[in-house]
Amino acid sequence: MENKILVHKHLIVRAEIKKPPQSESYFEGWLKDFIESINMKILIGPFVKYSDLPGNEGLTGGAIIETSHVVMHCWDRVEPPIMQLDVYSCSEFDPIKVCDKVKKDFETTKIEYKFLDREHNLTELKSDKLLKF
């Protein structure tokens, strides 16, 4: 068995979007596709549910992946709709690739992210690539 060195990377994304997911089944499929697109493997899930709690209306979905988790919530009754995505993994992944997928699939009007190295004092990692709309 190959001995892999684990990393501890945590991506937190906030985006204002034009196209929030409209159904649990669509969102579940999107999460499966998303996880595959960042070369991760699902262990459990994804699980998706609509929240109708006043002020928190929207779809929430998540999955346990082989190297940690992916969770997203989309508030669809605010203007503009907002999504927040949390990707934590002990494997390397590209935060720009994640943000590009969110931008494309949900038509973002604004996107921000923090990429943290959770192994070393929550150091923020900077990318040499700029997010462009």
Q: How many CB atoms lie within 10 A of CB 79?
A: 7
How far is 123 from 14, CA to CA, in rounded Å?
19
- Complete domains list, the chain, with CATH: 9-121 (3.60.90.10)
Identify any residues that bridge with 47 across adjacent strands, giving them in sequence order. 62
How far is 128 from 55, CA to CA, in rounded Å?
36
Determine the pLDDT at residue 66: 94
**pLDDT per position in the chain (133 positions), as tens?**
455 677 888 999 999 999 999 999 999 999 999 999 999 999 999 999 999 999 999 999 999 999 999 999 999 999 999 999 999 988 888 999 999 999 999 999 999 999 887 777 776 777 544 444 3
Determine the pLDDT at residue 18: 96
Determine the pLDDT at residue 132: 46
